[in-house]
A and B are shown apart, each in its own frame.
Chain A
Amino acid sequence: MPETVLTDPAATTREPGPRRVALLGGRIPLARLRDLALVPAIVVIAIVGQIVNPVFLQADNLINVLQAMSEMALLVLAQTMILIVKKMDLSLESTMGLAPGVAAWLVVPVGAGHGLGLLPGAWAIPVTLAVGALVGVINALLIIRFGLNGFIVTLGMLIVLRGVLTGISGGQTFFQLPNSMLYIGTAEWFGMPASIWICLVLFAFAIVVLGWTGFGRSLYAIGGNIDAAKAAGIRTERVLWIVIVTGSVLAALAGLMLSGRLASVASAQGNGYIFTVFAAAVIGGISLNGGKGTMFGAFCGVLLLFMIQNVLTLAGVPAQWIGALNGLIILVALAISRITGGKVQE
């Protein structure tokens, strides 16, 4: 080393390490706190809701909110996994309609709408989940095996699947669903609708898997730096396959819950959901660039969106304006997370 460098003042001052912003005597780093960032917002909305209309905090209303969001929440769960591995699945919303649609088509007796009546009612649920898995396999095949762009592949699938559902249903709605399909949307377990339980249990499970298992952490590794993940011995292709197929199966399950609750499968079931799904995930702190965000954050994101909608309804905002306000909420929430997160969202 030449002497000029040794006399350089920089050589004597140690480079300061990156400061870790932390609370509680350094026990909880800020990175962890960001996962809880939406909790205060949820509390604020609850208080505002209670002031607007005392009905808000009553058990019936809260159950109503949770049930209304349960199907959307499952899509958010699926999308969150997929976003963490730095992929994207737009076709979830069509899968949500097509999977129960195919089941209804095969099961609903001839004469009632476009039903074929080929299978007994008990087959409805297995068929729904199988269709979901099949869609996932096709997506994974195109994206992982053939290396096609995930955005375009799933955009194509979104349109194809929607078209298939419109084709088999003749653009109409399937009614007279078998009891097996109705059960999951109507049953109550321990005083709460089954769909809420399913949603909560799946989220709890996903939080544990993503936070505390090697498989879950490999999702973050793949989304953060896939080459490093490979170098660490993670079987990246296998993990990606599992994530994409599981995502589609979850979308099928969400479709089953919605069909059961509405006792029908409309040809437009799930149409337009994907936008809210993305909004909830991003508000919940999931990065579209992969490797960042937690399941808990995603859950808070979707919960916050639905609570705000409920408060608006209770406040007597005309239904025609809810759509515009929804969009506005998403923009405001993103702006707030940009300010608190401090980083440019790409």
Chain B
Amino acid sequence: MSDRERDASPAPVVEATGIVRRFGPTVALDGARITIRPGETHALVGRNGAGKSTLVSVLTGLQAPDEGEVSFGGAPAPRLADRDAWRQRVACVYQKSTIIPTLTVAENLFLNRHERGRGRLINWQGLRKQAQELLSTWSVEVDPQTLAGDLSVERRQFVEIARALSFGARFIILDEPTAQLDGAAINRLFDRIRDLQAQGVTFLFISHHLQEVYEICDMVTVFRDARHIVTAPVTDLPRADLVAAMTGEAAVDRLQVRSNTPDRSATSALSVQALGRDGAYRDVTLEVGAGEIVGLAGSAGSGRTEVAETVVGLRTAHTGEVAIAGSRPRPGSVPAALAAGAGFVPQDRHHQGFVPDMSIADNTTLSVPHRLGSKGFLSRRRRDRLADSMIENLAIKAPGPQLPVSALSGGNQQKVVMARALADDPRLLVLINPTAGVDVRSKEFLLHKVEETAESGAGVLVASDELDDLRMCDRVLVMFQGRVTSELARGWHDHELVAAMEGVDLDA
């Protein structure tokens, strides 16, 4: 479309063509391309796994493409080993900080290129002055003598941007810079981007939040399934088209098989009243009936995970109430929530889900010691029997209950976590990203298990941004920036839900 008009303008800041990058059998980039003109702020959007991060690694010289060409200002890219040359052309502010928290801001700015004074010793005064000048050149209001670890995420990003500019790069990649920022900080970051853009800095902006793309960017490139889909000025690409480009036509209409009506007469499995927690979510009210599956959708940082974690007592709300199966467990106490009848699959199984070197038997029965014996002593026989039944019930592929969980595949590990959540026949099942990093077959199995659990009369709350997790839900509540903004009944289309999660109004 508009690609042809753009070819008339001067040499692009960066141009990548026909990039192929494989990791073993998976193809992360398949003939991908991107062209970024001087002075523009270019958005790169796509769902998880679209190949965005791989493209960033290729553009910053951290990985060489298997095929394809990268050029900067018309000249071919430097050798991979020549870090200095790369740093003069392109800089990236990653989600993960590349700042050393124990050193001052000034030292971080000039790390490994300190100002030298007499006798080749570091001239600290000169260094501080240099840092001060650099920070004020790019109007970053940070005292160069503060410890970098004391900076807020926002200020840290400004410092990293200033450092990138000080190497001479005028092309900066921002990798999801807004993920950890609140609304006000996002506005300040955008002001900064506009300032720098006016000074001739070119940005590649990666974000999951489409409304940010419309706010700050001139051009947008969409990747899907490792391929380039479209590049267009944002004004030429209405929101609905952008979402369609991201999700793909094929995914719009998919059958939603589940047809179950929850039992309205029974006590609801979960009742949340006006729940609020500063900086995470506010005024969340929701109800999960017995036998009902309710989805809690939203992008990262929308507050969905925090709400789910509050329900099971991992976090404490500042206002509001949680009632599980009619009783009110003590807020902020996981044992109380479990005793009230909750089962829980946490967000990150590696951190909160299991003890990797303990056996399947120990892991699955970790939360139900009362079923394994009395007076504090555990019966190994009972434990193994219970574990055996769970291994069978969840079809965990393992030679026996004594195998350490770390030896299992991702899908089977998640089944262990699910088995534990189901170990005590919960009245309420809370799942956070239940199928993250799980192969397709285990995914189907796990989701089927969830439906089974609901049919047996338990309520289920699924907090996720994965559409497949949400498809089986009777209804989906969508959270955006800490609030429940909409509710979709079963039968929604992918683009509706994605748009709601991104905070985009399709009718606008």
A295–B330 CA distance with the chains assembled, in angstroms? 49
Bound Cα distance A3, B155 (Å): 24
Asked if residues B84 and A217 are in contact (CB atoms below 8 Å), the reply is: no
Q: Which candidate, A142-150, A165-173, A220-228, A262-270, is the interface stretch facing chain B? A: A220-228
B187 touches A11 (CB 8 A): yes
When the two chains form their complex, are residues B103 and A224 in contact, meaning their CB atoms are under 8 A apart? yes
Residues A229 and B100 in contact, CB atoms below 8 Å apart:
yes
Q: Which one of A4, A224, A233 contacts B83 once the chains associate, using CB atoms below 8 Å? A: A233
Residue of B whose beta carbon sits closest to that of A208 = B121
On chain A, the residues within 8 Å of B154 by CB distance are 15
Q: When A10-B182, A234-B112 are in contact, do A223 and B143 touch as well, CB less than 8 Å? A: no
* Cβ-based interface call for B375 (8 A): no
User: Quick check: A224 and B101 within 8 Å, CB to CB?
Assistant: yes
Contact of A15 among B97, B150, B185, B503 (CB under 8 A): B185
A231 close to chain B: CB less than 8 A: yes
A341 proximal to B (CB < 8 A) = no
Complex-state Cα separation, A220 to B148, whole angstroms: 13
Docked complex Cα distance between A221 and B187 (Å): 32
Bound Cα distance from A23 to B102, whole angstroms: 20
* Complex alpha-carbon distance, A238 and B99, angstroms: 21
Chain A's interface size range is 35 or more
**Chain A residue contacts of B366, Cβ below 8 A:** none
Contact pick for B503, options A2, A10, A231, CB 8 Å: A2
- Are B102's CB and A17's CB within 8 A? no
Q: Flag whether B24 is at the interface (Cβ < 8 A).
A: no
A339 on interface, CB distance cutoff 8 Å: no
B187 partner residues in chain A, CB cutoff 8 A: 1, 5-6, 11
Q: Are A291 and B122 in contact (CB under 8 A)?
A: no
- In contact, B122 and A10 (Cβ under 8 angstroms): no
Contact with A along B144-166 (1 / 0, CB 8 A): 01110011101100000000000
Asked if A225 and B150 sit within 8 Å, CB to CB, the answer is no
The complex places the Cα of A19 from the Cα of B127 at a distance, in Å, of 21
Q: How far is the CA of A276 from the CA of B110 in the complex (A)?
A: 36
> In whole angstroms, what is the CA distance A213 to B114 when docked?
8
Q: Would you call A4 and B112 a contact (CB within 8 A)?
A: no
Cβ distance B96 to chain A, nearest Cβ, rounded Å: 8
CB distance from A86 to the nearest CB of B (A): 10
- Known A17-B141, A224-B100: A214·B184 in contact at CB below 8 Å: no
Chain A positions 279 through 293: 1 when the CB is less than 8 Å from some CB of chain B, otherwise 0: 000000001001110
User: How far, in angstroms, from A234 to B110 measured CA to CA in the complex?
Assistant: 12
Q: Which one, A5, A6, A20, contacts B146 given CB within 8 A?
A: A20
From B102, B143, B155, B184, A292 is in contact (CB under 8 Å) with: B102
Which B residues are CB-close (under 8 A) to A223?
102
Name B100's contact: one of A31, A208, A211, A291 (CB within 8 Å).
Answer: A291
| CB-contacts of A205-250 with B (<8 A) | 208, 211-214, 217-218, 220-221, 223-225, 227-229, 231-234
Q: Is A29 an interface residue (CB 8 A)?
A: yes
Q: How far is the CA of A5 from the CA of B116 in the complex (A)?
A: 47
Task: Known contacts A1-B211, A17-B143, A213-B120; decide if A221 and B111 are in contact (CB<8 Å).
Answer: yes
Residues of A with C-beta under 8 A to B111: 217, 221, 228-229, 232, 234
Q: How far is the CB of A235 from chain B (nearest CB, A)?
A: 10
One of A5, A218, A220 near B183 (C-beta < 8 A): A5
A109 to B411, CA, bound (A): 69
Q: Are A17 and B155 interface neighbours, CB within 8 A? A: yes
Q: How far is the CA of A220 from the CA of B101 in the complex (A)?
A: 10
- Contacting residue for A213 out of B121, B184, B186, CB 8 A: B121
* Contact code string B354-381 (vs A, CB < 8 Å = 1, else 0): 0000000000000000000000000000
CA gap between A5 and B103 in the complex, in Å: 34
Q: Chain A residues near B146: list those with CB within 8 A.
A: 17-18, 20, 29
Q: Which residue of A lies closest to B83 (CB)?
A: A233
Q: Find out whether the CB atom of B103 lies under 8 angstroms from the CB atom of A29.
A: no
In Å, the complex CA distance between A185 and B414 comes to: 64
- How far is the CB of A61 from the nearest CB of chain B, in Å? 36
Write out the residue numbers on chain B whose beta carbons fall within 8 Å of the beta carbon of A11. 183-184, 187
Give residues 167-203 of B contacting A (CB, 8 Å). Answer: 182-187
Q: Are the C-beta atoms of A1 and B183 separated by less than 8 Å?
A: yes
CB neighbours (8 Å) of B184 from chain A are 5, 8, 10-13, 15
| Bound form: Cα–Cα A229–B103 in Å | 12
Most buried by A among B114, B183, B212: B183
* Min CB gap A7→B, angstroms: 10
Contact of A20 among B99, B112, B145, B155 (CB under 8 A): B145
Asked if B384 is at the interface of the complex by the 8 Å CB criterion, the answer is no
Name the one of B100, B116, B182, B183 contacting A225, with C-beta atoms under 8 angstroms.
B100
List the A side residues contacting B121 at CB < 8 Å: 208, 212-213
Chain B residues in 8 Å Cβ range of A224:
100-103
The answer to whether A2 touches B211 (Cβ under 8 A) is yes
By a CB distance below 8 angstroms, the chain B residues around A214 are 112, 114, 116, 122
> Could you say which residues of chain B place their CB within 8 Å of the CB of A13?
184
Contact A20 B122 (CB under 8 A): no
Which listed residue (A17, A18, A228, A291) contacts B98, Cβ 8 A?
A228
* Nearest residue, chain B, Cβ from A10: B184
| Shortest distance from the beta carbon of B234 to any chain A beta carbon, whole Å | 15
Chain A residue numbers with a CB within 8 Å of B185 are: 15
Inter-chain CA distance A15–B154, complex, in Å, is: 10
Please measure, in the bound complex, the distance between the C-alpha atom of A15 and the C-alpha atom of B141, giving whole angstroms: 11
Residues B102 and A10 in contact, CB atoms below 8 Å apart = no
A residues near B103, Cβ cutoff 8 Å? 217, 220-221, 224, 291
Q: Given A212-B122, A233-B83, A233-B112: A227 and B98 within 8 A (CB)?
A: yes
Task: Name the residue among B84, B121, B146, B184 with the largest chain A CB count within 10 angstroms.
Answer: B184
Q: What are the residues of chain B within 8 A of A4 when measuring CB–CB?
A: 481
Q: Is the CB of B145 within 8 A of A213?
A: no
- Asked whether B215 is an interface residue with its Cβ less than 8 Å from the other chain, the reply is yes
* Residue B11 CB within 8 A of the other chain: no
The 3 closest A-B pairs by CB, nearest first: A5-B183, A291-B102, A224-B100
**Known pairs A232-B111, A290-B102. 4 more at Cβ < 8 A?**
A29-B145, A214-B114, A217-B103, A233-B83
> Can you list 7 A-B contacts (CB < 8 A)?
A11-B184, A18-B152, A214-B122, A217-B107, A220-B103, A227-B98, A291-B102
